[in-house]
Structure formats: structure tokens, C-alpha cells
Structure 1
Amino acid sequence: MELISKRYGRSPFIVIFIMMMLKMLLFRHFVFQGIQADRLLTDAASILTLLLVTELVTSAKWRGTVFHILNAVLSLLLFASTVYFSYYGTVPTYTALHGLDQVLQIRTSVGSIIQASFYIYFVDLIVFTVIFIVNRIKGIRSDGSRRIARPRIAVVAFILSIAISGGYIWSGSAIPNEIVQAESLGFLDYQVAAAINAKKEKDALKNGSVEETAASADALQVSYFNQAENAVEAGTPNYFGFAKGKNVIVIQMEAFQNFAINLSVGGKPVTPVLNGLAKESFYFSNFFQQIGQGNTSDAEFMSNTSIYPTGVIAMSTGYGDKVLPSLPRLLGGHGYESNTFHINDVSFWDRNRMYPALGFTKYYDKPSFENDHFNSFGASDEELYRVGLEKLQALKQQKKPFYAQFVTTSSHHPFKVPSAQQRIAMPDSLQDTQLGDYLTSLNYTDYALGEFIKGLKASGLWEDTVLVAYGDHSGLQTKDNDPAWVSEQLGINYDGEVSRFNIPLFVHVPGAEGKVVDQVGGQVDIMPTVSNLLGVSLKDEGYTAFGQDLLNTSHNVIGMRYYLPTGSFFNNDILFVPGKGFEDGTALDIRTRKPVAEFSQYRADYDYILELMKLSDDYVRLLPKRAP
């Protein structure tokens, strides 16, 4: 050990390089499910660039220490990114650091997805630490003074490694699919490419105009839907003003997937309340999540603004300083009070900034609720609705129309419901499984919503209120729930993409007949749909929407770019996921869940959604900042 430590201590460059390369290989194994030899050059070049900079600019006294620090930092980054990928299905960029302060709030969820094998990233650090301690005990010190090469050779090697990395970045940065891009560039060069693209986007917006961008978005949508021969005739839209003057309650249900609707387990319905609501509401069965890095908070953002998340930062964090065109702000101009209810601290995902940006009159967060310790977030959905109902009854007494948003948490990952609140028994085959826990939590969420509806009816609010309920995002983790096994256990056709991202949307309108709507939609479509029902024209009000009114659309395409890569879309027929581009992509029939081999006829949808999301990004970035 003494001999190894002496050699290692005097010239750690090669050893650290080998260790860092092994970790890059491990990252590719965990994330990309394989190691391609032709992709290793970009990893080697990026690591060499990092180490050679240290070799050239660091003094002999500190060189070895800095090498160790770089190795430790890379270990932490790759570990965190591997965990991140396990949860989100995408490779994070440096922008994900904005969300690090939120991790403790969801530590139960994060901890449950960490695999023991992920800790291999730190094995060498432990070994080196032991060697260091043993040598210090023996009195052996390393001066770390030996260079790997003479300065001139190091400079040449540095220039060569920079050139190789630059070539990979130049050739791969145009790939819209983030996962393919990250695999092509390697982890470190992928971060550099993200920074370069962010700088280009920022520069491109310097002379931009929000009005011109909005006009371009409107023109693109008009052109696309005209070409698609939308069957809805011009004139007054269907259901326009059908609920004019009604209150609006929006329920965002945590991790709620659509397959649970009308599902029975052990002879009992999982969602009896929502099953009944579906019969007397507009029930959109082909509705899909579109969230970005902000997860639940991004769903809140989208449903209220009809603007796409940028995918590189939580919208509440990145755009909480803006004046956001939104439903609360729109309806505020028509005399509505707007309240939002969430049992967590309002600073979680920067909602203390997002809610004023959205124009909510008031928010109710953790101090407003009694903590009945339902889960790691605190209060239960029943407590959420109890407080909410009290506040809404007070607004009714003041004869103020209201827009109220409720964000539920009782079905949050890892889906543990206290035994006293469990209301459905799982069969033996689902005991102690994530699927069983998930269904139990959805059943409780459904029950609590039913109690809230009873309260609305008892207080006389039900018949004067439009109720919108939808899932914010998927719940089941594919790695813990093999789709074939889920299908077998539940007797349904469940797959890891269409079924996973399919969430329910219910819009209950007093006096309107219940109807199952097969039309494909997403969270950007909620605002236009609700506005139409209330008889408020977004166009007349000067609002730009990047979604469609689902009651007046016969053809639709919605984009998704977080849990799936940029360029992915749902239309009335398929889910499309690109490869490097359109031609090498894959498609699934959204109804049969079977692969679609021939999808060339959907090229226009791919081009449209890429352009629409780019315009959405430009639009939100150009919006004016609000006063502090």
C-alpha cells in the first residue's frame, strides 16, 4: 500500500483520469442501458480538458488536492443525475441545481428510488480516504508535485481535447431529443452544450417583442388547424357562455393516472366518486400530462396559463417574477376572487413567487391547516377541503364569484396512506407493492373529493359552480411496476408510456349532460376550455393560448418534453417519440398501445409542435416583469 500511495500521491493525474472514466462508463450503463465504444472519446476528451486545466493552472502544492476534489464532485454529480434520471426519465442539466433546495421536502420520495448500486460512484473515494488515513498514521506524506507531462505537451493535449469536445458539441447540439443528445455528447459536454444553447436563446430574445411572438403563435395555430381541416364550423363556439358567471373550482389531483377510473380491484371500485362524476361531466379520457422540471408546480402553471413549461427550469422558479396572463388574472377582470389552497409551505417550488405572478387574490398554505400527519407533507386532503370549503362559503356570503384551485397531496409518492384512513383492501397479490399502495392512495383521494362535493352540495355551491378535476402527472414508476405485470394484475392493457402519461380530466358544468370526450388533450388546453364555458373570449381579451378549447376541436396535437424528449407529441392517433430527428423516431397507437410502423404522415405535427413550443418559450421569456 505504501508503494501504491507514493506513486499515486506523486502523480494522481492518470489514476484520477481512469477513475473518472470508469464513472462515466457506469453512468452510461445506468442511464443509457449500455456502453457504446464510439461514444467514449467525448467522455475522455471532456475529462482530459478538466484535468489538464488543473494540471496547467494549479500549483504543485495543491494539484493533488484539486484532482481529488474534481473526482469527488463528479461522483456527486453523476450519482445525483442517475437518481434524477430514475425519477424523471431525463438527463438533468446544470439548471436542475435551482431545485436542490426542494429535495428535503420530497426526501421520502427521493429516498425510495435510490438503488444500492448507485453508491458504486463513491467506492474509490472511500478507498482513497482509507489510504490517506493509513499513510498519515504511518507518517507518509505526498507532495503531489510531479506533473503528468512537461507544460508544452500538456498545452498541446489540452488544445486537442478541447477540439474533440468542441467537435462533438457542434455536431450534437442541434439534436432536439435531450436523451439522444446527452448520450452522443456525454455528461460533461452535454452541460456545455446546454449553456451554449441557453446563451444563444438569450441573445436571440434581446430584440424580441412579446406582441410579435404572440402574433406568430396565433398565425401558426390558425394555419395548422386550417390545414388539418378542423371539423368545428366557424361562428359561436360550442358551449360558449354555457356556465357564464359560475364559480370555478379546479382540483389538481396528485400523481393521478387515468387507468384507475372505472377500475375495480377485489370486486370494489377504486374511484367510485370519480366514476360517478364522469357520467355527469365532460370526461376527457385521452388527456395527457405535459409537465417540465417543476412537476406539480408546472401543472399548476400550465392549467392557469396555457403556456408550455420550458423544460429547463421549474416555471415557478424561472418565471415567478413575471406578469403571467392567466385564468386568475383574466377572471379578476370580471369580478372574480381567486384563491389557491396547498397544505405545504408556500415557498415549496417557489409558489410564494408563482401565485402573485399568476394573479391569485390570496393563497392558503401550511399555517392555514391543522396538521393531522397524513404523510410527509402534513395535512390530509380532507383537511385541505375542510378549510377550503369554509373560505368558499365566506365568499358566497359576500356574493363574490370565485376561482378556487386545490392542489392535493395525499396520493403523493411513495403512496403511503395511514391504516386508519385506508378505505379499500388490496388482494394478497398487491400487498406490499407500489401498485397496491398507489391504488390505496388514489382510493383515499377519491373519497376525500367525494366528501368535498357533499359539502359543496350541502352549502348550495354545487349548482352554481364549474368543477374541473385533473391529474397533475403520472404516479407509477415503470422500474418498480413492469407494465406486463400491471396489466396481468389489473386485467387491463397497460403500457409504460401512453398509459403512464394518460391522466384524467373532468369538467362538471351544472345543466350540461355528461359526455365522454375522446378528443386528445393536455394541460395547456384547460384554460381555453374553461374560458369558453364561462363565455370569456381569450382573443377579445388579448390573451395568447398555446392550447385548444377541447369542446371545439376535432383535431389536436400536444407536445411533451420532460419525461419524454423534446419533439414528442400526442395527436388523435399516436404518441410519437423522436430519435435524433423525426425519421428514426417511434410511434404508439394511443388506443391499442401497439407500435405504429408507418408514421410519415405525421411529419407536419412534429414540425408544428417544435415550432409552437419554441414560440411558447420565447413568449414567456419576453413577458414583462412584475413589481416586487
Structure 2
Amino acid sequence: MQRVMLTIKKKWPDFNDTVGFFLLSVFLVWLKTYWAYKTSFSLGVQGTLQEFILVINPLPTAIILLSIALYFRGKVAYWLMILINLIQSIWLFANMLYYREFSDFLSLNILNSGSSVDNNLGKSIAGIISPFDFLVFLDIIILVLLLVFKRIKFDKEVVQKRFAALTTVFGIVLMLVGYGISSKDRSGLLTRTFDNNYIVKYLGLNEYAAYNIFKTKQTADIKKDAKADDLNKIKNYVKGNKTLQNATYFGKEKGKNVIVFHLESFQQFLMDYKVNGVEVTPNLNKFYHDQNTLSFDNFYNEVGQGKTADAEMMLETGLFGTASGSAMVNYGTSNTYQAVPAILDQQGYTTAAFHGDVASFWNRDNTYKSWGYDYFFSKPYYKNANNADYNIGYGMKDKIFLKDASKYLEQLPQPFYSKIITVTNHYPYDLDSQNASIAKTKTNDKTVDGYVQTARYLDQSFGEFLSWLKKSGLYDNSMIVLYGDHYGISENHKAAIAKLTGKDSVSDYDLANWQKVPFMVHAPGLKGGINHTYGGEIDVMPTLLHLLGVSTDNDIQFGQDLLATNRRQVVPFRNGDWVSAEYMKYGGNYYVTTTGTKINPKEDPRAKQIIDATQKDVDKMLTYSDDVQTGDLLRFYTPEGFKKVNRKDYSYQKASGLKQLKKANKDNPTSVKAKHNNQSTLKDYITDAPELGGKPQTIQEATSSSQDDKNNSSDSSSSSSSNDNQ
């Protein structure tokens, strides 16, 4: 037995030896990276080959980076390996947290845009983090202790430079072999991939970082080298993407005010949804089913890493957010745009955006100038906006913000185009008990269960705002547009999603439909109803402009009017997946859209032909949109009748904004306030916000009221009983 133990000891690496410590470090980095792949990321691994690729892909960069220490001797080599391990662990840790909320990996653009989105992030991170996440640092702590207490002793012998060089080369060769295997399984891996999950799954997290840095540098060079001729192929594509105008709706709302109501993190499943028999969003449900509301039930968010910023970009410009980072942050200050605010401003509209947070968030203060907004009423405009009780998460509480925003809305000369951005229904979905009026769901997922409470608060805020619109007279002369900007519950919460939707589990088909968000257009006299066409946020711009009687024939934008009868009904997602009226691609799988039946295109020639053609078009659309953004190609093109926006014409400082608003009312006294003999209508704005002295409904009162309504009404609910979360 003693002889056997001695034999094992001789064959087992000596961790006191520099090479032995190197092998141990490589193993530990590989182990925790593979653990993170399996537990923290949804990489869509399928089959033995992909699992094998996933197993080996943490090794190449671990070997290459840690081998740097082999070129040094003694203590320096050991501590350098610890440092390299730490840096890789911090990168892994940061991505685990980011992915948990955003289902994507950190990019250089996201890191560079941190200053524009860091407000209140500490609280969000606190809600995301798990004690198990810190396991990625456990090996470092153990190694440091072993070195400090000399359980592992420093080897003073120099590792031969030849051995060190061969080790580095081996890491490079292993990386190339892995890339070769991956390319055979996924052709065009680095040339036509919109989904970062593929890069990480096939190549590795560190390789993704290197690739992202390369692409970011490449993108910067594109703008420098771009020329007017680059627009020709895009013009031809956009021209072929046009639809016929719907004679019933084109110009139907010409001359009306436009109030775009931004429903933060609000998903379609919430419509008609109940918790313990209580409607989560009764005001929005009523609005959704109103005979003068056009409601779209197959409308999807199409955002990428920019999330809310991407949604705004699509709505205002008809361009997608970019594949990496936020286009508003990276290009909003410098690029040329022909956006809805500028288009309508040149049609005689006053244009304004409202947001209860700082102006710099998502670089709005600069981007809105590029888009041509006359006014941007951000946090400094609102009384007591910095009062801690008036704020939650990412800005002012919606009830307080909307009442304060109405003070400026009533002063806008008519007709006006306005966008009102809510924030309370934002991760981490915390709401103080005095404002909670519905019970949490019971999925045992703390990230998810508060979601219905903040959604209910948003619904109440909208109800109060809508009531004031009617009393002020704005309601009768306005087109009110509501949209959800992106998902509220990440698809990483599959178990909770299954419970919310009454299923045992969820498939990629379910997760694709989970990306649905509401889109509603309402105006008195508008022919409404539930429209089942398949569309997304990229389609909002032409839809709204056509309703207002504004042609988009000369615009470079990638959406299609949702009311057009000859539209293609293809919804591209930012990662290259898509949904159409017939088929959908999501998570690497294909389904029949209406039934959820999983199909293999190779076994159905007709399906393969349609799917291949759709994928080609989706890839082209996303690529062309990126070309416009990254090359700033609109600087080479001005549509007929459009005047190029001059950013120097705009200032969103409070003093200058108020001065401009006062002058506008004097020159053009058409605002609601002016029509009321310059008397404010805010006395008619009723809110139950407890911070302002109101008394909101309690959870118990809401439950009791719902039960009374149920007992006193024989009408069946428009939502199925399967939507009740018990």
C-alpha cells in the first residue's frame, strides 16, 4: 500500500513546482468557467459535439493567459497566475450578473456606456446577485491562503523559455482546432452571427470579449470609410420593403395630438391576467378592449442590448438598435437621423419627451437633439423630484411623475407629439407597501413575484392620467399610443414563467411568444378591435405616420405599416431569430407559428425554402440597419421636403426650456391651458398617491372589490381561468 501511495505521489503534479501550480490554475479556471456555462448561461447546447466544444472552449485562453507567468521565475510567476485568475474571475462574475437580467453578455460598448446608465444600478445588482456567484473567487482565496501559509512553496527554478513558448503555442493551436470544429457545426460563425450566445457556446467567453473588441474597432472604422454610394443597395431594399397605404386608415388622425405612453418592461401576457381572481391591469384591459382602440396581440419587442433605448430608436427612427451596445449611447450624439419628432415638427407639431429621471440616462439629452425634440422635460423640471419618497428604482414614481408632467403637457401648443416614459415597473420590481394594491405571485422567484405589483401601480397611474386627459379636453383631440418596450421577466426564469402561464415547463416556442408586448392606438371615432397581424417595434413608425397622413415613401426605415394589407408579417429579433405568420425560429429550433409544432426544415422542402428565404431577408435587414447606424449613412441623404436637424437649435436646460415654452404659448396660444383662459387644468388631476396625501387601495380592498364585482356580475371574464395565478 505504501509503495502504491509513493507511486501516485510521484505521478501526481507537484503544486510546489511552477508547472504544477500552472496546471492547477488552468484546471480551476476551466472548472469554474464550465460551471458558469452550465448554471448561469442559456447557451442552447444540443448534441454530443456541442457539449464537447463547450467542455474544451474555456481551456485555450486559460492556457494562453496563464502561460504568461511561465516566462517569470519564483514568486512573481505564482502571484502573476493568481492575478490573471482574478481578472478572468471578475470578467466571469460580471457576465453572470449581467446575463441573469439581460440574457446577453457584456460588451465594450455597454461598458463604455456605463456612465449613462449607472443611476440606481446598485440596487438592481443587489437584487440579481446570489451567494453562489462568489464561488468563482473561492479557488483564488484558497490558493492565496496556501501560498501565504506556505502549504504551497514557491519554486525558485526557472521554467525553460522553450517550454513556456510551447505551452502558449499549444493554447493557440487548441483555440484554432476548437474554431475549426465549431465552424463545421455552425457555418459563418463570425461572419453572420447576431447572437452572442453562439460565440460563447462555440468559442468561449474570453474569445467573445476579444471578438467584441475587434468588432467595436471595426465599427469605428466603418464610419470613417463610409461613402454615399453605400446607401444605394439599402435604398433599393427599403423601396422593395414598402407597403400600400390602407385607404381606411391613412390620414384618419391627421392633425391630432399624439401622446405616446411608454409602458416600461410591460409584457403582453399581463393583459387580462389575474392574480387570485384580481385583475392586474383593469385600466389597461378596458383600454385594450375599447371599440376605438386598435390593439395588436401578435406584437413583439425587438430590442438588443440597448433594451429601452433600442425600443425608442425603433419607434422614432425606423432603425434597429445595433448588434452590440446601445445605438443611442454610441451614435445618438453624432449621427444624422430623420426621426418622427423632426418629421412632425416640420409638419407644424410641437414635440416633447417626458421622463422622471436624469436627462443623461441612455444619452437621451443628446440623442433627442439629433431626433429633433423641441422639449425634453426630465427630472430637473419636476417639483421635489429629488425627494427620496417620490422616487423608486430608476426615477420618479409614476403617479407623481405623470401628474407633474401634465403641468407641461397642458402648455404645449397644439397639435403636439409627445412621448411619456414611465419607470416604476422596472426591475427589481420593488414597491413600498403603501403603494402595493395586489398580492405578489407565488412562483418562489423573488425576482419575478413583485412584477405584478409594479405593473398594477403602472396601470393605476395610467388610469389617473387618462381620467385627466378626458377632463382637460385633450382626450377628444388626441391619438393615444401605448407600447411595452421590452420583456419584464427574463427568459432565464423559466420555472417562474411556467408557473405564471400555468404550464409544467416552457419551450423555445413559449419563450418566443414571451417576447410579446402590447401595442395599442386609440382615438375617438377610430375603428378599433384586436388585430392579429404579426409585427414588432420596427413597424410603429410607418404605422403612426400613415395614420397622421404623413407618407414614408422617401424615408429610409425598415418597418412596415401594421395596417397595410400586403405586409409580409415577419418579425426579426436582434439576434437573428424571427417570427412570421407561418413559421418561427427561436433558440436554434423551428416551429409552426400558430400551433407550436416543432419542425425540421430538412425534412420539409417547402418549409426549408420559406425558412431559408426568411432568414436571408432578416439577416439582410439587420445588416443594412447596422450599416446605416455604424456608417452614419443618413448624412448622405435628405428626403424630399425634409430639413436637416441642427442640434445647436435645441437646449433642454430648465431655464431655457421654460423660456421657450412661454414664448411658444405667446406666439401660438393653442395649448390646453391657453384655451382655458390661461388657467391650469391640474385641479382636475386626481391621484391617490399617498406621498401627495392620497389613500390608495390596499391589497385586501382590491381583493374584496374584485370578489364583489364577480358576485354582482354575470358577465364572463375576457381572460381564461388558466390565467389566474393561485
The two structures have a TM-score, normalised by structure 1, of 0.86
1:356 aligns to 2:369 (yes or no): yes
1:220 aligns to 2:237 (yes or no): yes
1:151 aligns to 2:161 (yes or no): yes
Distance in 2 between the 1:266 and 1:560 partners?
34
Distance in 1 between the 2:483 and 2:196 partners?
28
Q: Any conservation in 1 of the 2:311–2:485 contact (CA below 8 Å)?
A: yes
The Cα offsets for residues 268-320 of structure 1, whole Å up to 9 and x where unpaired, read as 32222222222221101110011111211221222111111112111221112
Deviation at 1:323, TM superposition (A): 2.5
Secondary structure, counterpart of 2:598 in structure 1: coil
Q: Any conservation in 2 of the 1:214–1:544 contact (CA below 8 Å)?
A: no
Structure 1 letter corresponding to 2:299:
F
Distance in 2 between the 1:473 and 1:124 partners?
38
- Hey, what does 1:574 align to over in structure 2? 583
1:43 aligns to 2:58 (yes or no): yes
1:420 aligns to 2:430 (yes or no): no
Distance in 2 between the 1:621 and 1:89 partners?
24
1:365 aligns to 2:368 (yes or no): no
Judged with a 3 Å threshold, the aligned counterparts in structure 2 of structure 1 residues 442 and 180 are, in CA distance, closer, same or farther, namely same
Which of 587, 590, 594 does residue 587 from structure 1 map onto? 590
Secondary structure, counterpart of 2:590 in structure 1: strand
- Hey, what does 1:582 align to over in structure 2? none
- Hey, what does 2:688 align to over in structure 1? none
- Over aligned residue pairs, what C-alpha RMSD do you find? 3.2
Deviation at 1:531, TM superposition (A): 0.7
Distance in 2 between the 1:213 and 1:432 partners?
49
Deviation at 1:125, TM superposition (A): 1.9
- Hey, what does 1:454 align to over in structure 2? 467
- Hey, what does 2:397 align to over in structure 1? 380
- Structure with larger Rg: 2
Deviation at 1:347, TM superposition (A): 2.0
Q: Any conservation in 2 of the 1:46–1:189 contact (CA below 8 Å)?
A: yes
Q: Any conservation in 1 of the 2:245–2:546 contact (CA below 8 Å)?
A: no
Structure 2 letter corresponding to 1:291:
V
- Hey, what does 1:123 align to over in structure 2? 138
Matches within 5 A, 1:223-622: 223=240, 234=244, 237-278=247-288, 279=290, 280-321=292-333, 322-369=335-382, 370=385, 371=387, 372-395=389-412, 399-425=413-439, 435-480=448-493, 482=495, 483-488=497-502, 496-539=510-553, 542-553=554-565, 554-561=567-574, 566-577=575-586, 585-598=588-601, 599-600=607-608, 601-622=610-631
Distance in 2 between the 1:164 and 1:493 partners?
34
- Say which is worse superposed, 101-110 or 340-349, in terms of deviation: 101-110
Deviation at 1:519, TM superposition (A): 0.8
Structure 2 letter corresponding to 1:604:
A
Judged with a 3 Å threshold, the aligned counterparts in structure 2 of structure 1 residues 5 and 124 are, in CA distance, closer, same or farther, namely farther
Distance in 2 between the 1:60 and 1:430 partners?
53
- Hey, what does 1:180 align to over in structure 2? 198
The Cα offsets for residues 296-353 of structure 1, whole Å up to 9 and x where unpaired, read as 1221222111111112111221112222221111112122222111112222222222
Secondary structure, counterpart of 1:502 in structure 2: coil
Q: Where do 5+ consecutive residues of structure 2 fail to align?
A: 1-12, 184-188, 602-606, 636-645, 649-726
Q: Any conservation in 1 of the 2:356–2:401 contact (CA below 8 Å)?
A: yes
Deviation at 1:385, TM superposition (A): 1.2
Number of positions where the alignment pairs a residue of Structure 1 with one of Structure 2: 594
Distance in 1 between the 2:19 and 2:70 partners?
13
Distance in 2 between the 1:453 and 1:282 partners?
17
Judged with a 3 Å threshold, the aligned counterparts in structure 2 of structure 1 residues 606 and 391 are, in CA distance, closer, same or farther, namely same
Q: Where do 5+ consecutive residues of structure 1 fail to align?
A: 226-231, 579-584
Q: Any conservation in 1 of the 2:261–2:419 contact (CA below 8 Å)?
A: yes
Secondary structure, counterpart of 1:420 in structure 2: coil
Judged with a 3 Å threshold, the aligned counterparts in structure 2 of structure 1 residues 494 and 235 are, in CA distance, closer, same or farther, namely closer
Secondary structure, counterpart of 1:450 in structure 2: helix
Distance in 2 between the 1:216 and 1:494 partners?
34
Distance in 1 between the 2:131 and 2:27 partners?
23
The two structures have a TM-score, normalised by structure 2, of 0.75
Deviation at 1:244, TM superposition (A): 1.3
- Hey, what does 1:229 align to over in structure 2? none
Structure 2 letter corresponding to 1:461:
L
Distance in 1 between the 2:197 and 2:34 partners?
16
Distance in 1 between the 2:15 and 2:164 partners?
23
The Cα offsets for residues 393-445 of structure 1, whole Å up to 9 and x where unpaired, read as 111xxx34221111111111222222222233468x57986554222221221
The Cα offsets for residues 6-47 of structure 1, whole Å up to 9 and x where unpaired, read as 926897433322222222222322224879344444432222
1:192 aligns to 2:204 (yes or no): no
Structure 1 letter corresponding to 2:66:
L
Secondary structure, counterpart of 2:564 in structure 1: coil
- Say which is worse superposed, 40-49 or 528-537, in terms of deviation: 40-49
- Hey, what does 2:123 align to over in structure 1? 108
Structure 2 letter corresponding to 1:588:
Y
1:89 aligns to 2:103 (yes or no): yes
